[in-house]
């Protein structure tokens, strides 16, 4: 057991061992088994959807890839993504032969900037036969992917209004959004399809795994079909090129045990966030990213955003925390600065070129002890005096 204070570790305090032993004892260890349906249905319930509204996949990225295919995204299409996201968002677009159109992020919560989204679409697109195309490339704009950054919901209503105006579908990258709310509603109640990740560092985990969700049964069934190698009969007939992207019964068993603790874990994470908020409220050199006016975060990770004119360097703070066996780190490098996407279509993102040097993620595990958090806060206070 490490004596380091980690950034985000899973809370495995429930029936994980019991359910995993059941998988082994019954030989249901692969992509068939009762825990998969149970897990899918309990996820649906937790995000405000009826049963059979979810499809479990091997990871969040594959859920996103299959979700894009289910929504009709095709090779050579454009998909709008914010620059401040994990690279997997853009990779899922690339995996199906489409291209990301990289737009900016607002600076309060680092989610997609809806004002810029509308402006870019107004200036750079045209409509034809019910579709929207980019003027310069003539590519169809086939989807918009808003991202739940750190678990904070994007402002969905204006994005939906813009998407409707330009006839563009939306797919929510709510990879770290389970437990978040938008205007009091859970993530599945937005009438939009989306995905959740259950990677090892997420709020709850299946080790590796994801979920596609939608209140449209056609989309869910499409994702399930594609994830199961497009198998159309018990005689190993496959009616199209599919993918082996299913979640295993072992992963689902772990996830089910985690879901049973979700409310407790969210409450613990909320308390951790409130402790940071109360203790780091009086500094003009940085701000703690906190709930937007339109919603409530899942509080997956807590992060500070250092002001542009602050001479303090994140690298120095990371090292100071490490001296006390506390993990903290840089976070995402913007997509427009990543080697695979430097030549992608993009808006003017100059203001976000230094964002990675200004964001620091803090320990946010649900099992973080109060004395450990006080130690972290004390070091931050000393550093920014």
Task: Assess whether 184 and 285 both reside in one domain.
Answer: no
What range does the domain containing 307 cover?
262-383
Tens digits of residue pLDDT in 71-121 = 999 999 999 999 999 999 999 999 999 999 999 999 999 999 999 999 999
CATH number of domain containing 149: 3.40.640.10
The answer to whether position 7 is within a domain reads no
Q: What is the pLDDT along the chain (385 residues), one digit of tens a residue?
A: 579 999 999 999 999 999 999 999 999 999 899 999 999 999 999 999 999 999 999 999 999 999 999 999 999 999 999 999 999 999 999 999 999 999 999 999 999 999 999 999 999 999 999 999 999 999 999 999 999 999 999 999 999 999 999 999 999 999 999 999 999 999 999 999 999 999 999 999 999 999 999 999 999 999 999 999 999 998 999 999 999 999 999 999 999 999 999 999 999 999 999 999 999 988 889 999 999 999 999 999 999 999 998 888 899 999 999 999 999 999 999 999 999 999 999 999 999 999 999 999 999 999 999 999 999 999 999 999 8
Residues 171, 105: Cα–Cα separation, whole Å: 17
222 touches 67 (CB < 8 A): no
Three-class secondary structure of residue 226 per DSSP: helix
346 touches 137 (CB < 8 A): no
Residues 144, 85: Cα–Cα separation, whole Å: 13
Task: Assess whether 350 and 282 both reside in one domain.
Answer: yes
Task: Assess whether 202 and 95 both reside in one domain.
Answer: yes
Other CB atoms within 10 Å distance of the CB of residue 253:
29
Of 114, 184, 176, 183, give the one whose Cα is nearest residue 147: 176
Element (H, E) at 288: strand 286-288
Task: Assess whether 353 and 241 both reside in one domain.
Answer: no
Task: Assess whether 241 and 287 both reside in one domain.
Answer: no
Task: Assess whether 251 and 311 both reside in one domain.
Answer: no
The answer to whether position 60 is within a domain reads yes
Of 261, 263, 230, give the one whose Cα is nearest residue 244: 230
Residue at which a domain ends, from 203, 229, 259: 259
Q: Point out which residues pair with 105 in neighbouring strands.
A: 112
Q: Between helices 249-259 and 34-46, what is the axis angle to 10°?
A: 40
Of 271, 181, 212, give the one whose Cα is nearest residue 65: 212
Q: Point out which residues pair with 147 in neighbouring strands.
A: 173
Residues 37, 43: Cα–Cα separation, whole Å: 10
CATH number of domain containing 357: 3.90.1150.10
Task: Assess whether 250 and 270 both reside in one domain.
Answer: no
The answer to whether position 9 is within a domain reads no
For the record, the structure tokens of 113 come out as 């900037």
**371 φψ region: left (φ > 0), alpha (ψ -120 to 50), beta (else):** alpha
Task: Assess whether 210 and 349 both reside in one domain.
Answer: no
* Residue 187 CB contacts under 8 Å (≥ 6 apart), including other chains: 47, 48, 148, 153, 172, 174, 177, 178, 180, 181, 194, 196, 213
Task: Assess whether 225 and 296 both reside in one domain.
Answer: no
pLDDT at 281: 87
Task: Assess whether 136 and 268 both reside in one domain.
Answer: no
pLDDT at 337: 97
Three-state helix/strand/coil letters over 35-97 = HHHHHHHHHHHHCCCCCCCEEEECCHHHHHHHHHHHCCCCCCCEEEEECCCCCHHHHHHHHCC
Task: Assess whether 301 and 184 both reside in one domain.
Answer: no
Residues 375, 251: Cα–Cα separation, whole Å: 35
Task: Assess whether 290 and 332 both reside in one domain.
Answer: yes
The counts of H helices and E strands in the chain are: 11, 18
Query: Which CA distances in Å does 62 have to 52, 75, 83, 215?
Result: 19, 17, 20, 19
The answer to whether position 213 is within a domain reads yes
Task: Count how many domains the chain has.
Answer: 2
By the 10 Å C-beta count (0-12 exposed, 13-18 middle, 19+ buried), 122 is classed as exposed
The answer to whether position 116 is within a domain reads yes
The answer to whether position 224 is within a domain reads yes
The answer to whether position 6 is within a domain reads no
Residues 226, 69: Cα–Cα separation, whole Å: 9
Residue at which a domain ends, from 212, 238, 259: 259
Query: φ, ψ for residue 350 (rounded to 5)?
Result: -55, -40
The answer to whether position 171 is within a domain reads yes
The 10 Å CB-count burial string (b at 16+, else e) for 50-64 is eeebbbbbbbbbbbb
Residues 230, 223: Cα–Cα separation, whole Å: 9
Three-class secondary structure of residue 200 per DSSP: coil
pLDDT at 385: 83
By the 10 Å C-beta count (0-12 exposed, 13-18 middle, 19+ buried), 221 is classed as middle
pLDDT at 1: 57
Residues 349, 116: Cα–Cα separation, whole Å: 11
Residue at which a domain ends, from 193, 228, 259: 259
């Amino acid at each position: 057991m490490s004596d380091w204070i980690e950034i985000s570790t899973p809370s495995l305090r429930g029936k994980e061992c019991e359910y995993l032993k059941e998988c082994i004892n019954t030989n249901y260890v692969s992509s068939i088994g009762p825990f998969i349906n149970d897990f899918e249905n309990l996820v649906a319930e937790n995000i405000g959807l009826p049963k059979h509204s979810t499809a479990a996949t091997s990871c969040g990225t594959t859920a996103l890839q299959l979700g894009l295919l289910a929504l009709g995204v095709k090779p050579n299409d454009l998909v709008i993504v914010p620059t401040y996201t994990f690279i997997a968002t853009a990779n899922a677009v690339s995996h199906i032969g489409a291209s990301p159109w990289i737009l900016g992020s607002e600076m309060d919560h680092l989610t997609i900037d809806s004002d810029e989204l509308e402006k870019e679409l107004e200036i750079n697109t045209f409509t034809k036969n019910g579709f929207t195309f980019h003027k310069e490339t003539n590519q169809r704009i086939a989807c918009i992917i808003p991202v739940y950054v750190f678990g904070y919901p994007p402002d969905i209503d204006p994005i939906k209004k813009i998407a409707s105006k330009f006839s563009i579908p939306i797919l929510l990258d709510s990879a770290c959004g389970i437990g978040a709310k938008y205007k009091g509603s859970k993530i599945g109640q937005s009438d939009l399809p989306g995905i959740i990740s259950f990677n090892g560092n997420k709020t709850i985990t299946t080790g590796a795994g994801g979920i596609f969700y939608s209140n449209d049964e056609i989309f869910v069934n499409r994702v399930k079909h594609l994830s199961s190698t497009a198998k159309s009969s018990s005689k190993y007939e496959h009616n199209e090129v599919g993918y082996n992207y299913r979640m295993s019964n072992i992963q689902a068993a772990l996830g089910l045990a985690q879901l049973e603790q979700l409310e407790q874990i969210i409450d613990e994470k909320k308390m951790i966030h409130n402790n940071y908020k109360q203790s780091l409220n009086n500094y003009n050199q940085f701000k703690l990213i906190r709930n937007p006016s339109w919603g409530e975060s899942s509080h997956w990770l807590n992060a500070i955003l250092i002001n542009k004119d602050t001479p303090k360097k994140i690298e120095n703070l990371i090292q100071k925390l490490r001296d006390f066996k506390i993990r903290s780190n840089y976070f995402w490098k913007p997509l427009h600065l990543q080697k695979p996407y430097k030549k992608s279509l993009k808006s003017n993102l100059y203001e976000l070129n230094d964002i990675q040097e200004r964001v620091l993620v803090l320990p946010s595990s649900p099992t973080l002890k109060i004395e450990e958090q006080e130690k972290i806060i004390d070091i931050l206070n000393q550093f920014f005096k």
